[in-house]
A = this chain, B = another copy of it.
Amino acid sequence: MSVYHTIKSRVFNVLEVSKHKGDLSWKIDAFIIVLIILNVVAIILESVETISMEYSSEFFYFELFSVIVFTIEYIFRIWVSNLYPSYGHPVTGRLKYALTPLALIDLLAILPFYLLFTSLDLRLLRMFRIFRIFRLFKIARYISALSLINRVVSRKKEELIISLIFTLFLLLLTSTIMYYVENGAQPEKFSSIPETMWWGISTLTTVGYGDMYPITAMGQFLGGMIAIIGIGLFALPTGILASGFSQELAHQSHQAESCPSCGRPF
């Protein structure tokens, strides 16, 4: 095995999530995790105007440093990716790897920075700022808990789609009716069906901001009916996801002997 391959295989092992606390791979993992968390903290703090003003240069150098590290990480990951059996081919395998969700996140976390140099469009700067939040997703590789979402959603896909069709159907129906009922009394608030759908979601999810609500007797009667009926239907996706999670958690923690909803052994 050539030196090239030895180094490549070493890099591969180091980049993999470490299982032995304290070795180099573990240290690199810890370093990247800390850097991701610091990036998220930086994004949050930079949004506070007084802080972003005072520490603008610090934020810039930290950004530069982070992008360099994440770029090196990305290049290394692409380089060694064809050591995975499923991405074996030097070109097409690496390309296939580059299109996996985790690799795309790695790319999206750094790409906007480089795009900034192509032009100085202000909208691009704005876009760049939003896209930085993708760095938060980089942590998904290290937190196995987050991979639960994938498994739960894919396992319950069919039920979720059915319940989404329900809720959309209900939302359309109630918003259309409510628009015609309330539009006369509140033409600026219930100004169109899309506007009324904001009321519909706010009511059906029981958030109830209070920026829109029916004021006519007919609107309040229908609104009350919608609130009562709607809650039942909107409970559906909640119930599906909740049961999906508790199922997955029960599988994961191997506490298969007892019902996760009531804790009694079977």
Interface residues of A (CB under 8 A from B): 40, 43-44, 47-49, 126, 129-130, 133, 136, 143, 145-146, 148-149, 158-159, 162-163, 165-167, 169, 172-173, 176-177, 179-180, 191-194, 196-198, 201-203, 205-211, 213, 217, 220, 223-224, 227-228, 231-247, 249-251, 253, 256, 258-266
Known A40-B172, A136-B172, A192-B49; judge A250-B263 contact (CB<8 A). yes
CA distance A136 to B240 in the complex (A): 26
Question: Contact partner of A238 among B40, B193, B232, B250, CB < 8 A?
Answer: B232
User: How many copies of this protein are present in the complex?
Assistant: 4
Instruction: Find chain B residues with CB under 8 A from A224 CB.
Output: 197-198, 201
By the criterion CB–CB under 8 Å, are A47 and B193 in contact?
yes
Question: Contact partner of A262 among B223, B253, B261, CB < 8 A?
Answer: B261
Known A162-B148, A177-B133, A217-B194; judge A265-B262 contact (CB<8 A). no
CA distance A242 to B236 in the complex (A): 6
Interface centre among A43, A143, A241 (most CB of B within 10 A): A241
CA distance A263 to B248 in the complex (A): 8
Question: Contact partner of A159 among B205, B210, B235, B249, CB < 8 A?
Answer: B249
Known A143-B165, A224-B201, A260-B262; judge A136-B246 contact (CB<8 A). no
Instruction: Find chain B residues with CB under 8 A from A238 CB.
Output: 231-232, 235
CA distance A205 to B217 in the complex (A): 18
CA distance A249 to B166 in the complex (A): 13
In this complex, what residue of B is CB-closest to A51? B192
By the criterion CB–CB under 8 Å, are B193 and A202 in contact?
no
Instruction: Find chain B residues with CB under 8 A from A197 CB.
Output: 224
Instruction: Find chain B residues with CB under 8 A from A169 CB.
Output: 136, 146
By the criterion CB–CB under 8 Å, are B263 and A260 in contact?
yes
Question: Contact partner of A206 among B43, B44, B207, CB < 8 A?
Answer: B207
